Structure 1
Amino acid sequence: MPRTPRPGPSPRVSVIVPARDAMPGITRAVTSAIRQTIGLSRLEIIAVDGGSADGTAAELDRLAAGCPSLRVVRHPRSRGGTGALRNTGLDLARGDFVFFLDADAHLAPDALRRMVATADAGGTDVVLGKMVSPDGRGVPTAVFRHNQLRTDVHASHAYATLEPCKLFRRALVERLQLRFPAHLRHDEGKPFTAAAYLNASGISVVADYDCYHLGPPPGRDRTAPGLADRVEAMRPLLETAARHTRPGPRRDAVMRHHFRRELCPALRTLPHEDETEARERLLPTLRRWARAHCSDALFATLTAPERLMVHLLRTGRYDDLLSVVCGAERDARRGHLVEKGRVYWLHPFFRDPDADVPDACFDVTDRLPVRHHLAGAGWHGRSTLRVRGRAAVEGLASDPEEDRAELVLRRRGAREELRIPVVATAEDDPAEFAADLDIATADGGAPLRPGVWDVFLDVRAQGISRTVRFGSRHDDGLDIGTARRVVTVGPGLRARVTPYFTSPYRNLSLDIGPAPGGAPCEVTETVWHPSDKGTLVVAGRLLPPGTPARGRVLRLRAEHADGRVHDHPVRYAAGHPAGAFTARLPVRDLGRGRWTVTLAVVAPDGPGPGRPAPAAPVPPPARLPGARWMRRGRPYYAKPLVGRGEVTLELRVAPVRLLAAVRNRLRR
C-alpha cells in the first residue's frame, strides 16, 4: 500500500473519503468534492476503500479515471470503524487543510472555498461548516446561529459537534500527531476533533451557507452500541479532555459535556446488559472515571437524575444504581418538597436513612421549568405598553397574595435592569397576568434609555423565584410589529418604540430609538480632537431649527455600564440663530470599560431630586476611528462599538495589550 505523497505543488485542501461498502452514496459524495468551486487545481481527493464487497472499489476507480485529482487507495478490511481508513488518508495528505467527507454525505458546491477563505481571514485552525440533514435529525443548531470568524470551544457551542466533518489545518494535525483510534467501531472521530478543538489557535464557523449535507438516517437493522462499546469509545474521549485541559472551570465545562452525552446515557443501558460483565469489568471502569474527572463544581451542574446516578456510581452501589435506572420513568413524575427556600425531588431515596444519599442529589431549585405564554402587547394610553400573558413555575402552586411576579427589562450591552410588577387578571387562574410598562417613566420616573431592552419574567411560587426569557411561546399569528409607536417621553422629547421577536428563539425585545423629527437636538459631527489626544468633539444644533439656546441646558454625558456618569458642558455658538453647539468629552480621563455617549437635556433649575435628566442619543458616526493616548506611562485606547444596529454611540476604553498588539502587527 503506497504511503509516499505525490510530487508537485501542495493543494489547499486534502479531502479524505473513507469508504466501506458505501454504494450507492459514494458516487454523490466523491462527485460533490470534484465539483467544488475552489477548483480541482487546489484540491486533492483521497478515497480510501476498506475492502468493500459491494462494488464501491470499482465505482471509485471509474470516478478516478476521469479526475486526475482523485486518488484511490486500498486498505485491508478490518473489524474497526473508519478510523484506520482516515489515518491512511492523513498519511498521504499534502494540503494546507484536510477535510473528512463521509461516504454517505456530500458537500455543497461552494463549501470548501468559503471555509478556506474563512480560515485564512481568521487565522484559525478549525472551521465548522453548517451541517444539514434530510430530516433535520441529529444536526447541531446552536453553533450555527451566526458566522463566527474567530472563537473557541469555551466561547461557542462548537464542542457540541465532535464529528470530524470539519476543515482542519494540517499543520495542527501533524504538530499534535493526531490520528483516529483504529480499533473503535463507534464514535472514533470524536477524540480527534476534541483534541483539535482544545489546541486550536482559533475556531471559525460558517453559518450562512449549508456546507455539509448528512446522509440518510441509519436503517432500523443497525444495532445500538452496547455498554462495552460505549466504555471503549469513552476512554479516549476522557483521556483527551484530561490531557489537553487544566483542572478548573474550563476542564469542568468539557467534562460536563462527556458526562451528560456519554457517561450518563451509558448508565441508562444497564437493564439491558449482562449483569456479571457490568459488575466485574465495566462499572469499576466507569466508577474510576467518575471519581477522577467529576469535580464538586461539575457535579453541581448536572441534573438531579444525573447527580443521583453519578453519586451511586462513585460510591460503588450497583444494586441501587440499577434500581434508579429501572424506575427512572416512574420516579420522574413524583412531586417536590419546598423547604427553606429550596426545592427537592421526592425520589424514593430522598432522606431514606437506608439509602444514605445527600440532599444535594435531589435539589432542583435552579432547574424548575417555567410555563409561560405571551398573549399580546398593545398600547394603553399615550405611552404605556400593556403586556399580557401567563406564567407559572411547573410543579409548584402559586399564591396570588404572596407570590408576585415581575416583568424584568435588561438593556442589552449594559448592566441595567428595570422591574415592572405584574397584576393577576383572572380570579380562577392566578397564572394570567398583565404588566403596564410606561415608556416615559419606567426608569425611576425618567424615560427608558435608547437601546434594545430584552424582556424577562421573574416568576415566583412558594418563595421560589425563577427568571426566564419571555415571549418565545405566544399566540399563533400574533403580530407584535403592530405595537410600534412614537411616544412622548418628556418636554420636547419623543421616542420610537418597536416591540419585536428576536431570531432565532422568538423572544420579546423592545427597541427604543429617537423618533423622526422628535429629538431635541441634532448631532452634525463627531470627531476626535486633532491635537488634544483622547478628546471627543461633538457638534450639533437644537431642534427644530431656529430654537433659541435660552432655557435649553445640555450636557454631554458619558455613562459607564455600571452606572457611573460623567457630564461635560455644552457651549453654544454666540449669536447663532440655529442654536448650534459643541462639546468636548475627555475620553482619556474615563475609566476602562464600556461608555455610552448621550446629550442630557436638563431644565434650567436642574432635573429635580431623585429624577435623572432625560437623554438624547449621540448616534454613532459612519466612520470614527479608534484613538490612543498615554496614561501614567501606559498606552490606552478608545474604540467605537459598531456593527450591531446601535442607535447610540458606545466606546470601549481599555489599556493596550502590548503582546496582542505586536502579534496583530506581525500578522498584518
Structure 2
Amino acid sequence: MPPAPPPRVSVIVPAYNAMPELTRAITSAMDQTLGLDQIEIIAVNDGSTDDTGAELERLAQGCPALRVVHQENSGCAGRPRNTGLDLARGDFVFFLDSDDYLGPDALRRMVAMADENGTDVVLGKIASVGGRAVPRAVFSHNQPRTDVFSSAAYLTLGPWKLFRRSLIERLRLRFPPYRNCEDKPFTVAAYLNASGISVVADYDCYYVRYREDRSNLTLVAGDLVHRMDGIGLCFETVARYLEPGPRRDRLMRRHVEWELCGPLRGLLWRESEEDARERFYPRFRHWARTWATDAICRQIDAPDRLLVHLLRADRFEDVMTVARNAKEDARRGHVVDKGRVYWAHPFFRDPAAAVPDECFDVTDRLPVRHRLEGARWREDGVLELTGHAYIEHVAALRPGTELVLRRYQSDRPEVRLPTTPRPAPGLPEDGRYEMAGFTAEIDPATADGGAPLERGLWNIYLDVRAQGVSRTVRFGGTREGGEATHPKPRSVTAGPGGRTTVVTPYFTPYGNFSLDVGQVAHHLDAPCQVTEASWRGSRSGVLAVSGRLTGAGDAGEGGGRLRLRAESGTGEVREVPVRHDGPSGDFTVRLPVRRLARGVWTLTLVTGGDGAEPCRATVVPRFGGLAGTRWLRFGRPYYAKPLSWGPAMALAFEVAPVKVATAARRRLRRLPLFRPALFRPGTGGRGASPARGRGRAPAG
C-alpha cells in the first residue's frame, strides 16, 4: 500500500500545565473546516504536573490526527515546538499555544492564501480575548502578497502564523531555548527569507488570551534575566540577513524601541545596583552603540533618543535616573522656541547634564488634530470648507493655517491657499486652541495663481501653523457626517474659450478629502455599463473589458463611436474602438496594455467629444479579483499593476519594467539553497547561540 500523502498543515501545540485552556486549543484545531484528513496535530506535553498529559491522551483516543508526545520539562516553549518540528510532515506548520485557540475557518483561509500567492508566511488576523494586547495595523486589509518593508507585518513577531515547512527546513530554523523572546528571532529569520508574506485580515483566525491563573510565560518570565539572550539574537538575526543601510535600519528601529529601550526603561532600575551595573547595563550599552545608528536615532521618539544618547556616552547613573523617573517625566510639558517644540525634561538645556537639544525635539512627532466640519458649493462656484486644526501642545496663537493642493502623481508645484481663522469653541485645554477654527475657499477657476486647476486628481492637505511651528497633514480623515461634507459634482466654466470642467469632491478609500478635476466625467447619460475586466492569457499583457450599451450609448456603425480610452499622467492617450454584438448591445474590447509606455494609465469608456456632440464617459471600475500581469518587451520583463482611486474607484495601471535586482532575488528565493543552521547549538554560524532560558513574547 502506498504511503498516505502528507497533510497540508502540521499544527504544533507546546503544553505545560495548560489546563483548563488546553481542551479548547486542541478542539479548535480538530474542528477546522480544512478537514482532519488535511491536518496533523502534534501536541507536546513538556513535563506537566497537572492533568495536561491525561487530557491529551483522552482527546487523542477520539482523533487519529492528534499525536501526543510526552517529554521531560524543558523550562521553555521553544524546545517542545522544536520537538513538533522534528516530527512534522505537513506542507505548512502552524504554532498554536495551549492557552489560545483558532477560528474554525482559519487554516483553510490561510492555506488558500499561501497556495494562491506562492507565499511562505501567512499572518491570520489575531483577536483578543480578555483584553490581551494584539497587533492591529497589519490587519487593516487583506494583503495577498507583501513583505516586511511594504507592510506592518514586522510589528508582530509572535509565532502564531502559517509557515511553509520547506522554508523552515531550508534555513534549518529552530527556536532557541529561552524563556522569553525566543519566538522573535525565529519569525525574523522566516520573514527575511520568505518568498512573500500574505495577510488574512477579513476573518478572526487566532484568539489570544491570558490564562485564568495568569501563568502565561509572557507574564511570569518577563524580567531581564529571561529577556537578554533573545534581545541580542533579534539584533544579530537582522544583521545576519541585511546589509547596513536604510532597510536594515527600518527593522532595527523596532528592536531599538521595543527590545532595547522598552525593557531598559521599565525593568533595569528594578534590578539590584550590582546586577544593573555589571550584568545588564553593559549589554544595553553595546546594543545602543552597535545597532542604534544615527539614522535610527533621528526617527525614534525623544524618550528613546535620550536613553540611547546616554548609553552611547556611557552615563550609567544618568541612564538609571532617566529610567527610574520615566513615568513622571513623560507628563512634563513642552517648550516652543524658534519654530521647534522640545520636551521639557529636567535634562533639557541643563548645563550640568550637557545633552544636545535634538534629544528633546518633538516637533515632527506632535499629533495634529483636525476636522472637516463643512464643505459646500457657493452660488459663485467656490467650494467653501470649514473646520478646525491645531498642533497638540502648541497653543493656537497667531494661527496661519494654509490649504495645500497637490496634484496626484505629478511633480508640478503645489497650490497654496490661505484660510481665515475663526473661533472653535469646545476644544480641549481651557481655550488654548480657541482660534484653531478656519474657513477656506477653493475656486477651481482661479485657484492656481489666477489660472484654473489642471485636469487630474488633487489631494488636499493642511499646513497647520502656530507660534512659528508648522506641520502638514492630509485633510478630511475625520469629518462631520451627512450631506454637510459631501458636496456633489459641479460644472465649472474657466480657461480659454469658457471650457466647462466637472469638479467632483470625494473621499479616498482612506477617508481623505480630494478633488477630481475633469478626470472622470460624471453624467446621467453614461453610454454603457461595465461588467468585467480581465486578462486574456496569463502573460499576454492584453486587458479585456466587457459591458453593455445603455440607452445613451450610440451603436451607430456597430457601436464604433464608443471607445476604450487609456490616458497617462503626462496626457498621452490611446483609444481602442468598441464593437458590440447583436441587438443586446453586449461588447468586449481588448486593450494591449503591453504596448503602453511606462507610467500610470487611467481607463474610461467614452462616446462623442468630436465637436458634434458632448463627450459622455463611463469609468472602468477596479474589479476585486483583477491581479497584475507581466510580459516580455525586447527581452526585458515588464509588469502592469492595477491601481484604484478617485470618486468612482476608477481602474488604472502602473506600467513599468521589472527591476533586475528584484527579479534576481525572487529567482534565488525559489532555489533550494543550503545555509548554515541559525539556531541549532554547535553550528558556529553568525547568530547562533547556546541553549539558555525560556520564553514567549506578546503579540506585538
When residues 587 and 58 of structure 1 are mapped into structure 2, their CA distance, relative to the original with a 3 A threshold, is closer
Q: Secondary structure of the equivalent of 1:396?
A: coil
2:521 aligns with one of 510, 514, 523: 514
1:415 and 1:281, CA in 2 relative to 1: closer, same or farther beyond 3 A?
same
TM-score (norm 2): 0.76
Q: In structure 1, what residue type is equivalent to 2:168? A: V
1:586 and 1:434 map into 2 onto residues whose CA distance is: 47
Deviations 1:274-333 (A, max 9, x none): 111100110001111111111111111111111111110121111111222233344334
User: What amino acid maps onto 1:148 in structure 2?
Assistant: Q
Deviation readout 1:4-43 (Å, 9 max, x if unpaired) = xx96431111100111111111111111111111111111
Give the Cα–Cα distance (whole angstroms) in 1 for the partners of residues 626 and 99 of structure 2.
50
Task: Give CA-to-partner distance per residue, 1:191-248, whole Å, 9 cap, x none.
Answer: 2111111111111111111111112467567547223223233122222222122111
CA distance 1:545–1:134, change in 2 (3 Å): closer
Q: Partners of 1:638 and 1:85 in 2: how far apart? A: 45
Give the C-alpha shift of residue 479 in structure 1. 2.2
Match for residue 50 of structure 2 among 27, 49, 54? 54
For residue 142 of structure 1, what is the amino acid of its counterpart?
A
- State the match for 1:483 in structure 2: 486
Is the counterpart of residue 86 in structure 1 residue 88 in structure 2? no
* 2:638 aligned with 1:641: no
Superposed displacement of residue 347, structure 1: 2.6
1:94, distance to aligned residue in structure 2 (A): 0.8
Comparing 510-519 and 203-212, the one that deviates more: 510-519
Q: Distance in 1 between matches of 2:576 and 2:37?
A: 63
Which residue of structure 2 aligns with residue 446 of structure 1?
452
Aligned position for 1:155: 150
Residue 263 (structure 1) aligns with: 260
Q: 2:105 aligned to 106, 110, 120, which one?
A: 110
Q: Which residue identity is paired with 2:504?
A: V
2:366 to 365, 368, 379: 368
Please tell me whether the aligned partners of residues 622 and 649 of structure 2 are also in contact (alpha carbons under 8 angstroms). Answer: no
- Shift of the 334–419 alpha-carbon distance from structure 1 to 2, 3 Å rule, reads same
Measured after TM superposition, the shift of residue 414 of structure 1 is 5.6
C-alpha contact (below 8 Å) 2:21/2:211 kept by paired residues = no
Q: CA deviation at 1:537?
A: 14
Partners in 2 of 1:126 and 1:459 — Cα distance? 42
Q: Distance in 1 between matches of 2:515 and 2:292?
A: 41
Residue in 1 aligned with 2:461? 456
Q: 2:598 pairs with 592, 598, 616, which one?
A: 592
Instruction: Spell out, residue by residue over 1:244-284, the C-alpha distance to the aligned partner (whole angstroms, 9 max, x if none).
Output: 22111111111110111111111212332211110011000
> Structure 1 residues 178, 65: closer, same or farther in 2, change over 3 A?
same
Structure 1 residue 100: deviation in Å? 0.5
Q: Deviations over 1:586-637 (max 9, x none)?
A: 9999753224468999999xxxxxxxxx997875799999999998x55575
Tell me if the contact between 1:14 and 1:99 (Cα under 8 Å) persists in the aligned partners: yes
Q: Does 1:431 align with 2:436?
A: yes
What does 1:304-323 correspond to in 2, within 5 Å? 304-323=302-321
Q: Using the alignment, how far apart are the partners of 1:629 and 1:272 within structure 2? A: 61
Task: Indicate how the Cα distance of structure 1 residues 484 and 594 shifts in structure 2: closer, same or farther if over 3 A, else same.
Answer: same
The answer to whether the aligner puts 1:197 opposite 2:196 as a matched pair is no
Query: 1:60 aligns to what SS in structure 2?
Result: helix
1:607 matched residue in structure 2: none
Instruction: Give distance in 2, aligned partners of 1:354 and 1:600.
Output: 76
Partner of 1:350: 348
Identity %: 52
Cα deviation for residue 343 of structure 1 reads 3.3
Greater Cα shift, 423-432 or 306-315: 423-432
Higher relative contact order (CA 8 A, sep 6+): 2
Per-residue CA shift, 1:343-371, capped at 9, x if unaligned? 33333323333222222212222112223
Equivalent residues of 2:12, 2:96 under 8 A apart:
yes
The one-character-per-residue Cα deviations of 1:560-587 (angstroms, maximum 9, x if unpaired) are 55xx44479999xxxxxxxxxxxxx999
Name which of 213, 216, 220 aligns with 2:207.
Answer: 213
The one-letter amino acid of 1:214's match is V
Code of the residue aligned with 1:44 in structure 2: it is E
Pick from 140, 143, 151: which aligns with 1:145? 140
Secondary structure in structure 2 of the residue aligned to 1:29: helix
**One-letter identity of the residue aligned with 1:187:** C
1:301 is aligned to 299
Deviation (angstroms), 1:420: 3.4
Q: Which moved more, 1:253-262 or 1:639-648?
A: 639-648
Query: Structure 2: how far apart are the matches of 1:332 and 1:252?
Result: 26
Alignment map for 1:527-538 (pairs within 5 Å): none
> Is the partner of 2:489 in helix, strand or coil?
strand
The amino acid of 1:463's aligned partner reads G
Change (3 A) 1:516 1:40: same
Per the alignment, residue 429 of structure 2 pairs with none
* Secondary structure of residue in 2 paired with 1:485: coil
Report how far residue 535 of structure 1 moved: 12
How large is the Cα RMSD of the aligned pairs? Answer: 4.6
The answer for the alignment partner of 2:20 in structure 1 is: 24
Q: From 626, 646, 653, give the equivalent of 2:655.
A: 653
Aligned runs of 1:561-640 on 2, under 5 Å?
Answer: 561=569, 564-566=570-572, 592-596=598-602, 619=620, 635=636, 639=640
Question: Aligned-pair distance for 1:415?
Answer: 5.6
Moved more, 649-658 or 12-21: 649-658
Cα pair distance change 1:637/1:351, threshold 3 Å = same
Match of 2:418 in 1: 421
- Partners in 1 of 2:542 and 2:163 — Cα distance? 45
Contact 2:375 2:486 in 1 (8 A): yes
Structure 1 pair 648/615, CA: closer, same or farther in 2 (3 Å)? farther
Equivalent position to 2:165, from 151, 170, 175: 170
Task: Could you tell me which runs of 5 or more consecutive residues in structure 1 were left unpaired when the two chains were aligned.
Answer: 1-5, 547-554, 572-584, 605-613
CA–CA separation in structure 1 for the residues paired with 2:347 and 2:608: 63
**1:517 counterpart letter in structure 2:** L
Q: CA offsets per residue over residues 366-403 of structure 1, 9 Å max, x none?
A: 11222323333334336433222211122334443xx4
Aligned partners of 1:626 and 1:190: how far apart in 2? 33
How many aligned positions are there?
Answer: 622
Correspondence for 2:560: none
One-letter amino acid matched to 1:28: R
Q: Output the CA distance in 2 between the equivalents of 1:655 and 1:643.
A: 20
Query: Contact 1:594/1:650 (CA < 8 Å) preserved in 2?
Result: yes
